[in-house]
Amino acid sequence: MLSLPGVSSLRLDEIVVRLGGELIGDPATLISQVATLDGASAGEISFLANPKYRNRIATTRAAAVILSPTAAAGCPVPCIATPDPYTYFARLAQWLNPPESPSAGIHATAAVESDIPATVSIGAATHVGAEVRLGEEVGIGPGCVIGNGVEIGAGSRLMGNVTIYHSCRIGARAIIHSGAVIGADGFGFAREKDGSWIKIPQIGRVIIGDDVEIGANTTIDRGALDDTVIEDGVKLDNQIQVGHNVHIGAHSALAGCVGIAGSARIGRRCTVGGAAVILGHLTIADDVNISAGTLVAKSIPQAGTYTGTVPFLEHADWLKNFARLRHLDAMADKIRALEARLAELEKK
Amino acid sequence: MLSLPGVSSLRLDEIVVRLGGELIGDPATLISQVATLDGASAGEISFLANPKYRNRIATTRAAAVILSPTAAAGCPVPCIATPDPYTYFARLAQWLNPPESPSAGIHATAAVESDIPATVSIGAATHVGAEVRLGEEVGIGPGCVIGNGVEIGAGSRLMGNVTIYHSCRIGARAIIHSGAVIGADGFGFAREKDGSWIKIPQIGRVIIGDDVEIGANTTIDRGALDDTVIEDGVKLDNQIQVGHNVHIGAHSALAGCVGIAGSARIGRRCTVGGAAVILGHLTIADDVNISAGTLVAKSIPQAGTYTGTVPFLEHADWLKNFARLRHLDAMADKIRALEARLAELEKK
Amino acid sequence: MLSLPGVSSLRLDEIVVRLGGELIGDPATLISQVATLDGASAGEISFLANPKYRNRIATTRAAAVILSPTAAAGCPVPCIATPDPYTYFARLAQWLNPPESPSAGIHATAAVESDIPATVSIGAATHVGAEVRLGEEVGIGPGCVIGNGVEIGAGSRLMGNVTIYHSCRIGARAIIHSGAVIGADGFGFAREKDGSWIKIPQIGRVIIGDDVEIGANTTIDRGALDDTVIEDGVKLDNQIQVGHNVHIGAHSALAGCVGIAGSARIGRRCTVGGAAVILGHLTIADDVNISAGTLVAKSIPQAGTYTGTVPFLEHADWLKNFARLRHLDAMADKIRALEARLAELEKK
């Protein structure tokens, strides 16, 4: 693998000084990378977050392990005990793997029509329109298209082939992956009597807060009249579709292939499982978890976990059972009729 | 927001002269933009299409409102009464917000291998192959890839990072959003006895009519042997997949994340809700509406609305209820058995 | 249609010498292209694989037909009889339609930071990073972004606007369609107590075998710690999402819009129907077929066909029947109660 920029090695005691936790074992143990319990080799630190993998500790070749105080007892290698091993691991992984920062400057093949800070990096064949405002140390990869009047906050990073339509605003420290399209027209049409469609110009924008990550090939449409809003800390996986005038509350996380129809309002700290769909004009409360594959067809006013998926079966079993769905109402009628007849009989 | 090209202001009487409707209130009222009833401020006109928002008229700060004659009575601001406020609003919104037309010419960083009209605009870092035929005033954004032999009709607009494979044909006045891919190979393979696949060359094209809009990151595959066809006035939202040899009839509209498998034939003026899936080789009649999230696994020979989605529940309730789906057939058997036993008993 | 490179014409006897099969009819019949039975015209050869289209042979204008020995009897035109007409057809179609090979060399507007073989073709506005290793006769279309340290095997072809992140490895003879994104960060975050997210750096790669085809706008995420792996001969359709650390076994084929969540392991020679979803950390055995639209929520240890989709109905029928799903458990209780009461009665 190509060597990426990073720190060379950390001592365990150095790690504990910065990130906390209780160090058990040789403080001079050197750590150069993170790894899984099974995949770790010399110089790598692993973590144990899920107790069901506990027995893997016995065989790991990791130089050290991050784990909870209760799991530290039998650990055969040096370890760091901490109440939340996974967040600890995340912080250490970030320390060991700082994001690659592209060198500042405008590539010779880029076309930039705005004044931008000297600390900004613009990749090959990228087009930056007029009246664009970029914060310090923004990194824009190759092949991007940044429309007129776009604003992007300091430290944000756009990977290759990202498209941002005119007038959209992105906060600081965003990460936007390749193929993402921010600010395309929402799907808004009025229908003529003959069935043809008149386009409603989409004059709103997309407004994105700070610390947002947007996955590859995800699309977020601009608002029709008002704006589409993504609040701070939202994480969107790949291939997500966010319709016009959607509002996603802070720190909500949406997994891959999710679809959010126009004007839906999702609360804060929600999670939406992969391929779930939320229909238009609904309101989802804060702290709602929607299971993967669920179609949300009405508003959810209360926090909780919601699911609406069907089990799968071997095909022949499925044929037998699922065809019944067409006749559920008749089944319910039959049960009612049976109850009445039985009651009649019991009276006698 | 960046000022977009547009008309500066219209008088209400000027609007009514061109678009019709009955003007109630000061004919000199000036309108510079459209807005929602809640979001409107001075100089903006709103509309009331859905009677359930009627009470918002009392508090709107809009300069004027477009509404139905029956709703015009108590309107506290000037208004235009018309039988279909939404299409009226659409037409006025278009008048006030003409599409931005990029200035004609080929960007210095574009690579164009065909003769194109002087009125055409080609964006930065765009590649136009050989034997490409573009109509007057076609606008192709930055980062596009236009294959050899492509034809695009007059007035069509491709936003940034659009890809059109060789030999495809697009009609006049199309709008194609970023990340769309037109004409990639259909998914066609023959299977060897050992389970490996032999690719079937995809030698058909994609043929798209006039006035079609194609959303961001939507993909339309070229035909295997014959062509994939999208008729006039079709509107496709974002993230849609259209398989090879699909035929979509005029003025049908498909919402985001829809998937249409190969050789499906969709009629005219159909609507397909978000994330619905239509399996291959099916035929859908004209004027069919398919609800969001529905999997269409057999042909629909008659106009109407069709749905096949399951409700969602709080997770614990879902566990209790949906597990029963695996045993629906057994439930039906039990009901039949009960009916038989009861009949037996009733005979006595 | 634009004339593509290819052979001009083949005699039927020439075909049979190379591809086998029994030739019935004039061996000098000239074939220049493949076509459907209905669409074929002079000089074109068609095939009959599905017996249900058998009657189309009577009316075809094809110059010849490939079919099974049992179907050869009444064929009114020259034919080639072979046990598997479809694979035969595929091979002939490939012979008649060799893939267009772009001419070697680096386009003047491309930016290439690595040494590459003279036989490689790099399209307009494409960026190739540092330490990239390309095999002989690799073709990279316009608008691509190839990250540092990427390896691509001989004869592979990337169409326009493809993005490959740093350090990913692609085997020989791959076909990667436009808008595909290989190696974007997986969706990995640890959660803070306040609900915000800490990004887990994604330091694995994507490793892709030989003879893999990847559809338009498909995304394959890089591994979190270990690699994401796609084995030889895998075929991925458009708009597929493959999460981090997924492993797809050789010769499996996934149709459009499929989503595979992180760390799922799919066996060899599996097929996954369109828009199916496989949840994370599951294991799917070899030779499993998953029907379109099915959500796979637990591992499948055995070969077979598995389905979990619901039928669709006219909307009014659906309302009546599917609302019952919320009360299936109560229905089961009622049946049990009826059985008990009936047993009681029968005892008397």
pLDDT tens, position by position, C100-126 = 888 999 999 999 999 999 999 999 999
- State pLDDT tens for residues C175-201: 999 999 999 999 999 999 999 999 999
pLDDT at C208: 98
pTM of the model: 0.96
C312 in A contact zone (CB under 8 Å): no
Reduced to 3 states (helix: H, G, I; strand: E, B; else coil), residue B109 is coil
| Best CA proximity match to A107, nearest among A140, A150, A137 | A140
pLDDT of residue A4: 45
Percent over 90 (pLDDT), chain B: 93
Q: Residues of C numbered 43-82 whose beta carbons fall under 8 angstroms of chain B's beta carbons: which are they? A: none
Model pLDDT, residue A7: 64
CB atoms inside a 10 Å sphere around CB C1? 11
Distance CA C330, CA C328 (A): 5
Query: Could you tell me if B181 and C215 are in contact, meaning their C-beta atoms sit under 8 angstroms apart?
Result: no
Question: In one letter, which amino acid is A122?
Answer: I
Q: What are phi and psi of C133, to 5 degrees?
A: -120, 115
Across the range B157-175, mean pLDDT stands at 98
For A41, phi then psi, to 5°, come to -130, -170
Residue of chain B whose Cα is closest to the Cα of A345: B346
**How close does chain B come to C41, measured CA to CA in Å?**
12
Report d(CA A116, CA A134) in Å as an integer. Answer: 6
Strand partners, C254: C236, C272
**Confidence at residue A100, expressed as pLDDT on a 0 to 100 scale:** 81
What tokens were used for B45?
């006109």
- The catalytic position among A244, A281, A315, A327 is A244
Sole residue written with tokens 């509406």: B289
Find the range with the poorest average confidence among A152-156, B73-77, B86-90, C293-297. Answer: B73-77
Q: What is the 3-state secondary structure (H, E, C) of chain C?
A: CCCCCCCCCEEHHHHHHHHCCEEECCCCCEECEECCCCCCCCCEEEECCCHHHHHHHHCCCCCEEEECHHHCCCCCCCEEECCCHHHHHHHHHHHHCCCCCCCCEECCCCEECCCCCCCCEECCCCEECCCCEECCCCEECCCCEECCCCEECCCCEECCCCEECCCCEECCCCEECCCCEEEECCCCEEECCCCCEEECCCCCCEEECCCCEECCCCEEECCCCCCEEECCCCEECCCCEECCCCEECCCCEECCCCEECCCCEECCCCEECCCCEECCCCEECCCEEECCCCEECCCECCCEEEECCCCCEEHHHHHHHHHHHHHHHHHHHHHHHHHHHHHHHHHC
A344 lies within 8 A of chain C by CB = no
Q: Which pLDDT score is estimated for B3?
A: 41
Specify whether the CB–CB gap between C31 and C9 falls below 8 A.
yes
**The pLDDT value given to residue C8:** 80
- The pLDDT tens digits of the residues spanning B297-310 come to 999 999 999 999 99
Residue B133: CA atoms inside 13 Å, Cβ hemisphere, count? Answer: 11
- Whole-angstrom CA distances from A254 to A97, A267, B178, B185, C199 are 24, 12, 22, 30, 14
CA A331 to chain CA centroid, nearest Å? 42
C106 φ/ψ angles, rounded to the nearest 5 degrees: -105, 125
Token pair for A20: 């906390």
Exposure string for A200-234, b = 16+ CB within 10 A, e = fewer? bbbbbbbbbbbbbbbbbbbbbbbbbbbbbbbbbbb
**Predicted pLDDT at B119:** 98
Check residue B4 and give its pLDDT: 45
pLDDT of the residue at C347: 86
The rounded mean pLDDT for chain C is 95
Whether C133 and chain B come into contact, CB under 8 Å, resolves to no
Is the distance from CB of C270 to CB of C249 less than 8 angstroms? yes
pLDDT one digit per residue (tens) for chain A, 348 residues: 334 445 689 999 999 999 999 999 999 999 999 999 999 999 999 999 988 888 899 999 999 999 999 999 889 999 999 999 999 999 999 999 998 888 999 999 999 999 999 999 999 999 999 999 999 999 999 999 999 999 999 999 999 999 999 999 999 999 999 999 999 999 999 999 999 999 999 999 999 999 999 999 999 999 999 999 999 999 999 999 999 999 999 999 999 999 999 999 999 999 999 999 999 999 999 999 999 999 999 999 999 999 999 999 999 999 999 999 999 999 999 999 999 999 988 887
Cross-sheet strand order for the sheet of C247-248 = C133-134, C151-152, C169-170, C206-208, C228-230, C247-248, C265-266, C283-284
Residues B190, B192: Cα–Cα separation, whole Å: 7
**pLDDT tens per residue across span C319-339:** 999 999 999 999 999 999 999
Q: Is the pLDDT of residue C61 over 50?
A: yes
Output the six-digit token pair for B234.
């079709």
Instruction: Tell whether the model's pLDDT for residue B1 goes beyond 80.
Output: no
pLDDT reported for residue A6: 54
Exposure string of B159-173, with b = 16+ CB inside 10 Å and e = fewer, is bbbbbbbbbbbbbbb
Q: What is the pLDDT of residue A243?
A: 98
* Count of CB atoms situated within 10 Å of the CB of B132: 22
User: Quick one: CA torsion of C162, C166, C172, C178, rounded to 10 degrees?
Assistant: -10
**Closest approach of chain B CAs to the CA of C170, in angstroms?**
18
pLDDT in tens, B237-256: 999 999 999 999 999 999 99
Q: How many residues does chain B have?
A: 348
Residues from chain A contacting residue C257 (CB–CB below 8 Å):
257
Tokens for C195, please give them: 């609900």
Say whether B244 is catalytic: yes
- Please tell me which residue of chain B has the smallest CA distance to A294: B312
Q: Which of residues 134-193 of A touch B (CB under 8 A)?
A: 143-145, 147-149, 161, 163, 165-167, 179, 181, 184-185, 187, 189-192
pLDDT at C346 over 70: yes
* pLDDT of residue B79 exceeding 80: yes
Bin A251: left if φ > 0, else alpha if -120 < ψ < 50, else beta. left
Closest CA to B293 of C279, C272, A294: A294
HSE-up of residue C186 (Cα within 13 Å, Cβ side): 27
Which pLDDT does position C100 carry in this prediction? 81
Strand partners, B181: B163, B219
CA distance linking residue A156 with residue A173, whole number of Å = 4
pLDDT per residue over A37-49, tens digit each? 999 999 999 999 9
Instruction: Give the separation between CA A246 and CA A264, rounded to whole angstroms.
Output: 5
ipTM value for the complex: 0.96
| CA A297 to chain CA centroid, nearest Å | 22
Q: Does C319 lie at the interface with A, CB-CB under 8 angstroms?
A: no
